């Protein structure tokens, strides 16, 4: 009897420690999300995606109830992106600016801006070791996916400010698929002068969103969804793709999006490969081809393609 009581007490102690460790991790993650929304900062970062390397300058500021954010590619090619509150501007060299609405710039890591409670439902948070990174004391935070088909995140956090210094997107085997690395970061009490000018510049309002392409009615259904994902109702379809599509579904878990395309059969062999953290899986069937694109494991992409009936 004493052994049973002792074992129960040990299990309760271990569970209590795990819950406490998880909450400590989530408290640090809360600090990360707050830092990229509240501070005036000027930073530069590099994105490693397979053999591709891209560099950016990222500035953010607040003035009263107004928020502004500027993302500038430091490579020769790229799009200059500005966000003022919930209006996002894509400045193109040879065309008028594209104006959309969003409360974040989607080209930045979504894990920094997605709904906090939704992320908590998909991951567990565990603190790792501390280290020095780019001259800053950094604390490792592991967001481990509750579902094995979902990528995990390792985030190195500047200990004092909570600013993210590095984000690795990890595979099921805990190998990095993509890396986002800050090379320079400066937080200041005042809004930078160039952001002040951009805040005062007159810019066009977002246009009313036009309806996307409408696909013909057919009997195809997507009969399975990965854990945590839901179908997006009335997803926007680029009109140029309308002629080549039989059906299309867009899935979202509040953080990631996965597209499932059905097209006429080209009788190509089934293929699967990864572009960084994005899986591209193409299944060739007698009547049609199915393509799955999104940040899921190849196994999940294969199950999604097979679920088209």
- 141 within 8 A of 159, measured Cβ to Cβ: no
Q: Is there a single domain that holds both residue 83 and residue 164?
A: yes
pLDDT at 16: 45
When divided into structural domains, the chain yields a total of 2
Q: Is there a single domain that holds both residue 263 and residue 115?
A: no
Residues 6+ apart with CB under 8 A from 57: 42, 43, 44, 70, 71, 72, 74
- Could you list the residue range(s) of the whole structural domain that residue 165 is in? 16-200
Give helix then strand counts, H and E, for the chain: 4, 17
Model pTM score: 0.88
Residue 213 lies in a domain: no
The CATH number of residue 140's host domain is 2.50.20.10
Q: Is there a single domain that holds both residue 183 and residue 276?
A: no
Residue 5 lies in a domain: no
Q: Is there a single domain that holds both residue 103 and residue 167?
A: yes
Q: Is there a single domain that holds both residue 196 and residue 279?
A: no
- 145 within 8 A of 122, measured Cβ to Cβ: yes
- pLDDT tens figures, 160-187: 999 999 999 999 888 999 999 999 999 9
Q: Is there a single domain that holds both residue 57 and residue 175?
A: yes
Instruction: Give phi and psi for 101, each to the nearest 5.
Output: -120, 130
Q: Is 61 exposed, middle or buried (0-12, 13-18, 19+ CB in 10 A)?
A: buried
- 139 within 8 A of 166, measured Cβ to Cβ: no
Q: Is there a single domain that holds both residue 190 and residue 265?
A: no
Q: In what order do the strands lie in the sheet with 257-264?
A: 230-231, 247-252, 257-264, 288-294, 278-284, 271-275
pLDDT at 241: 63
For the chain, what is the mean pLDDT? 89
Q: Is there a single domain that holds both residue 103 and residue 21?
A: yes
- Least Cα distance to 72 among 54, 95, 50, 49 occurs for 54
Alpha helices (runs of H) in 80-127, residue ranges in sequence order? 116-122
The CATH number of residue 241's host domain is 3.30.200.100
Pick 128 or 50 by higher pLDDT.
Answer: 128
Return d(Cα 293, Cα 282) in angstroms, integer: 9
């Amino acid at each position: 009897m004493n052994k049973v009581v002792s074992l129960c007490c040990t299990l309760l102690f271990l569970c209590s420690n795990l819950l406490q460790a998880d909450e400590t991790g989530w408290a640090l993650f809360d600090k990360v999300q707050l830092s990229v929304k509240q501070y005036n900062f000027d930073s530069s970062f590099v994105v490693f995606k397979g053999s591709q390397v891209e560099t950016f300058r990222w500035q953010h500021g607040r003035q009263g109830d107004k928020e502004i954010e500027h993302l500038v590619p430091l490579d020769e090619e790229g799009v200059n992106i500005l966000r003022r509150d919930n209006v996002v501007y894509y400045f193109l060299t040879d065309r008028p600016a594209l104006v959309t609405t969003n409360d974040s710039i989607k080209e930045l890591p979504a894990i920094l801006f997605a709904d906090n409670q939704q992320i908590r439902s998909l991951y567990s948070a565990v603190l790792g070791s501390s280290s020095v990174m780019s001259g800053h004391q950094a604390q490792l935070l592991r967001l481990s996916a509750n579902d094995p088909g979902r990528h995990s995140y390792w985030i190195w956090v500047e200990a004092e400010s909570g600013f993210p210094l590095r984000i690795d997107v990890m595979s099921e085997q805990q190998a990095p698929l993509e890396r986002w690395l800050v090379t320079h970061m400066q937080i200041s009490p005042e809004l930078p002068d160039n952001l002040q000018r951009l805040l005062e510049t007159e810019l066009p309002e977002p246009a009313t969103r036009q309806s996307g392409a409408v696909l013909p009615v057919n009997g195809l259904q997507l009969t399975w969804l990965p854990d945590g994902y839901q179908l997006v109702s009335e997803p926007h379809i680029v009109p140029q793709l309308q002629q080549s599509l039989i059906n299309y579904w867009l899935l979202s878990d509040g953080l990631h999006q996965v597209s499932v395309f059905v097209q006429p059969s080209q009788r190509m062999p089934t293929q699967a490969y990864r572009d960084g953290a994005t899986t591209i899986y193409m299944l060739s069937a007698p009547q049609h081809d199915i393509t799955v694109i999104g940040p899921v494991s190849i196994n999940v992409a294969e199950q999604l393609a097979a679920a088209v009936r």
